[in-house]
Amino acid sequence: MGNQGFSGKSVLVTGAAGGIGRAAALAFAREGARVAVVDVDGKGGEETVALIAQAGGEAFFFKADVSQSAQVEAMVGAVVERYGRLDCAFNNAGIEIEHLPLAESDEATFDRVMSVNVKGVWLCMKHEIRQMLKQGGGAIVNTASVAGLVGAPGMPIYAASKHAVVGMTKTASAEYGKAGIRVNSVCPGIIRTPMLERALEREPRREKSILKAHPIGRLGEAEEIANAAVWLCSDAASFVTGHQLAVDGGLTSI
């Protein structure tokens, strides 16, 4: 495994059945962490656990819908029961299901996106912070987006949800900093994930404009976001809190 910077630490990763979440779960395990892999997708979640085990790491899967309070509470309880504490949490679960301008958006989409992307992150932080207060500290990273920093034409509800994540991140960091709890967000640019691949299958023409939006000239990889989340949770980032780390190939710089 890696340099064992997280040796003995327990880490919770939501949305870990694939994409950024799976890459992060694997990255934390490489650093020596014991990982709780959480997702609504049981098959994908168990695959992530198997990949960690194959690489010599330790992990278990917990099925939970982050928009349901009782399931989130049970999720945190399961980590503490198994590992004794919760050192780090990467609240990464999120959905992106709209491709319409604001006036054409529908209420069902609004409710679904807000339920997972905003309520889900709020519930996760609520229960994680309660545990971290009991044990004397911890680190939390939320997956926001460049759509939490700038506008996202065609995705107004998603942009609103990710701006909300940024707002909660900043506020929680101010509320719990003195308690030894750091709260940051990572703001990915457009990352090559199964979610993106599906979108490009629907609209292949989008790929050219997506590439053009990144001054670095390519899409991001899930591992690059994972590395940022690992760093934000690590002791190397001990004076970093309330920060929104754009990992976006320069997208927000132009």
Backbone angles phi, psi at 88, to 5 degrees: -140, 145
Contact in structure between 146 and 248 (CB atoms under 8 Å) = yes
Q: What is the CATH number of domain 10-247?
A: 3.40.50.720
Backbone angles phi, psi at 60, to 5 degrees: -140, 155
- Report the chain's terminal Cα–Cα distance, integer Å: 38
Set 145, 158, 186, 245: catalytic member: 158
pLDDT of residue 98: 84
Is 158 one of the catalytic residues? yes
For the chain, which residues make up each domain, given as ranges? 10-247
Could you report the average pLDDT of every consecutive run of 10 residues in the chain (254 residues)? 78 97 98 98 98 98 98 98 98 92 97 98 99 98 98 96 98 98 98 86 89 95 98 98 98 96
Contact in structure between 128 and 225 (CB atoms under 8 Å) = no
Which of 15, 65, 66 has the alpha carbon at shortest distance from 36?
15
pLDDT of residue 194: 80
pLDDT of residue 3: 52
pLDDT of residue 1: 42
Per DSSP, what are the bridge partners of residue 60? Answer: 36
